Structure 1
Amino acid sequence: MLALISLLTLAPSALSAPIFGLSIGSENAAATGQTSTLSLSDVQSSLLRPALFARVAYCSSASISNWTCGEPCTSLSNITFLQSGGDQGLIPLYYVAHDASDNSIAVAHQGTDSQSILSILNDVKFGLVDLNVTRFPDTAGKGIKVHSGFQQTFERTADGLLAGVLKGLSDTGAKKVTVAGHSLGAALATMTGAFIKKSVDPSVEVSVTGFGLPRGGNQAWADFLDSDVGVQYMTNQNDPVPIVPPRSLGFQHPSGEVHVVDDTQQNFVDCPGQDNDNCSTGNSVLKVDVSNHKGPYFNDLSFARSQCSD
């Protein structure tokens, strides 16, 4: 994601020129959407635990498997590590764990690793391609297209990850799966959550939560996520990542956005509908703040490898 961020943080004079062959001025949408205020307790009740799981995904595989990754791990209790995969490069890390506090299976994807060019390359392959309907058979003929790089990255771990989730459900008797991630990890979480939901018994509840979510597909993909999956995601102030790739290329956000209004970590709004213009979509590309992408979002939560002890 940093490759896209760097383009959005050029001098204002450069931003008037097309980026990857298009103008991004259309992202300065008029604020026409409606919002409603959320309290910190509202946010904590639905977003805190997924955020903590997403933060752990930035730590090393070895420290996660032993649950010795420092504050990200110690902030979560009653956790049993089950499985991990990826190489923290071209194949971003994911892990699967059992959360005994509510007898659920937790899945989290690593976000973009700023120290790995291979990780960044997953982000910049952002042409729209057909969704792989062999994994989502009931989507055939619906015109769903998704971000090329995100789908390629998802495909590299999809089968092994699903096998780990199914085994975890069987071994623990859990009836709930929570999928979370930040940045690239949030985009992967939407695909993983949809894949898991289509692959498990309907009695299993599957929830998907993202932070700093970039757009991952076209209108049909956003509609599918709204109707078949249900995604909740948090955007932070003037973070540029949620406004890329641009809508002028055919990309669309799903519903479910919660927006951090300012840096007090106390003011939040619920943003009904897709690409609500009163939330991140209405941000000006001339006033982006890259630091907002990492955080903090609330409860002093930020997402980066620096949060980990290893």
Structure 2
Amino acid sequence: MLAFSILSFISFVLAAPLLGLGSDKATGAPTPMSLATVNATLLRPAQFARAAYCSGASLTSWSCGLPCDTLKGVTFLQSGGDQGLIPFYFIAHDAADQSLVVAHEGTHTENILSLLNDAEFALVNVDTARFPQAAGKSNIKVHSGMQSTFQRTADGLLAGVQAGLQNFGVKKVVVTGHSLGAALATMTGAMIKSAVDPSVEVVVTTFGLPRSGNEAWADFLDSNVGVTFVTNQNDPVPTVPPLLFGYTHSAGEVHIVDGSQTNIVSCPGHDNEHCAAGNSLLHVSLANHFGPYFDDITFGSDVCSS
């Protein structure tokens, strides 16, 4: 099962000769990331992101198989979406981290409604009602299909987060997702940050993230919430939509260099040429999109019990 649409991959292939055009790439040298740092900052969000591929019923009872068994001290709070036109998400309380977690599911390509979400890749004005810090900044543009998908669950999701913060008294929200779910997570994180008390820490950590907006959107994310996104080897998804179409990643890329699951680097700047943006078009691997990333983490419903 592919977690990102074939339509998006086709757009990648057609634009492949031009991917180096349209935006400057960062050139700074990446720095190695220790496994201790990976385990402390990335592993738990990755476990929640893969749990989002499991059925809503299994998550409600927290009996989804390996993803739920791995995550101890979790209380399910809310879910939304239909795994079609409205992708699934869930909210949980993580007692181990003293945080709320919002996890977005990625795209199921066997569901044509999900494919249509990914096909709408025109850049449109950002939703300033949900991102008020962007008001008056007409240059901020985002992916049409991603924003439309985000809007379908945004209000109910935010209400659930606000209720969870009040009920549990925590001061941290972790937002995560894989593939399309990663793009939705960046928007969700920015929305939550704008709506909650400034004392609440909002952490956005994603996997296999496609580009979701232009350079002004990337700068907006850098300034308002900050995103850490993990790219795996030669996964093509982080390189779509192409730079030629005006898309740019924010800062915060963490790149897995090879299949050892230990050679992991932090990449400075936007679309660093030494990381995913610099991958050879001759060695694209969709398999890398699903994993393993580190600690044998893979994404998709194969790891779920139902």
- Normalising by the smaller structure, the TM-score range is over 0.9
CA distance in 1, matches of 2:58, 2:85: 20
Moved more, 188-197 or 110-119: 110-119
TM-score for both structures, normalised by structure 1: 0.93
Aligned to 1:12: none
2:298 and 2:11 mapped to 1: Cα distance?
21
Q: Deviations over 1:19-72 (max 9, x none)?
A: 4xx853426998833111112222111100100110100000100111010001
> Matched residues, percent identical?
59
Query: Which residue of 65, 68, 77 corresponds with 1:70?
Result: 65
SS at match of 2:44: helix
1:296 — aligned with what? 292
- Residue 6 of structure 2 corresponds to 3
Instruction: Say if 1:5 and 1:156 are closer, same or farther in 2 by CA, change over 3 A.
Output: closer
Q: Is the 8 A contact 2:51 2:67 kept in 1?
A: yes
Q: Give the TM-score, by structure 2 length.
A: 0.94
Correspondence 1:1-310 to 2 at 5 A: 1-4=4-7, 6-7=9-10, 18-19=14-15, 23-26=17-20, 32-142=27-137, 143-310=139-306
CA distance in structure 2 between the partners assigned to 1:24 and 1:68 by the alignment: 46
Shift of 1:291: 0.1
Structure 1: runs of 5 or more not aligned: 10-14
Per-residue displacement from partner, 1:174-215 (whole Å, max 9, x unpaired)?
Answer: 111000000000000000000000000111110101100000
Quick one: distance in 2 between partners of 1:191 and 1:25?
24
**Aligned residues between the structures:** 301
**Structure 2 residue runs without a partner (length 5+):** none
Query: What is the Cα deviation at residue 166 of structure 1?
Result: 0.6
**Maintained 8 Å contact 1:110/1:182:** yes
Other structure's SS at 1:26 match: coil
State the SS of the aligned residue for 2:189. helix
Report if the CA contact (8 A) 1:5-1:290 is conserved: no
Maintained 8 Å contact 1:82/1:96:
yes
Change (3 A) 1:264 1:27: farther
Cα 1:202–1:51 shift into 2, 3 Å: same
